Amino acid sequence: MTIGPVQLIALGFDHPDFKGEVIEELERLRESDTVRVIDSMAVYKDAEGEIEIEHLSNLTKDEAIELGTKIGALIGLGIEGEEGMEAGAEAGAEAGAEGIEVFTDEEAWDVLEDIPNDSAAALILLEHQWAVPLRDAIMRAGGFRISDGFISPLDLVGIGLMTAEEAQEHHEMAHERSADAKKKAAATAKGR
């Protein structure tokens, strides 16, 4: 099975108000072969930092069996219990024995730590199917990935791809929600 570039996206929500819009958009992208959701889950973190997980997916039954719970394996949730953690540890040990270094502790991303207390997050593992031919062409030309990342809306203004008003609106919404979540977490921690 050829797989395209894969990205883990963590989206935070203070008060989730899901009406199916996100799932509908992911389904539309899947139908157009733009992206495929490999795995997805909702993580709820209470005021004390305890985590509750709800597994979500738009995979077919065969795809789900083939791919399993990949986000849990990536971020160390051990959703499949001790057996899942043992299987992940064995796979990691085998890769290490073969000289494969996936990432170092310094490069690790602690997604669960980034989720503020008393909030929720949607974790979505996406395969960018549109990028397979481009990635393959780059590899055939001897190229390799050095880095990647999303560009802030404010930076897009500087290069003329977005108006200042649009960027300010995006920036304010993102920072307002992030600040609210941090204040709520600080107040909760202070009240203990």
69 and 98 share one domain = yes
Is 0.75 surpassed by the pTM of this model? Answer: no
CA 78 to chain centre: 16
Adjacent-strand bridge partners of 54:
42
Residues 156 and 132 in one domain: no
pLDDT in tens, 73-117: 777 665 444 454 455 556 555 655 665 554 455 545 678 888 888
| Phi-psi sector, 142: left (phi>0), alpha (psi -120 to 50), beta | left
pLDDT digits over 19-44, tens only?
Answer: 677 778 878 888 888 888 888 888 88
**Does residue 1 belong to any structural domain of this protein?**
no
**What residues have CB less than 8 Å from 9, skipping those under 6 apart?**
123, 124, 125, 126
List residues bridging with 128 in a β-sheet.
Answer: 35
137, part of any domain: yes
Q: How far is CA 79 from the centre of its chain?
A: 16
- Residue 192 belongs to what domain range? 150-192
Same domain? 45 vs 138: yes
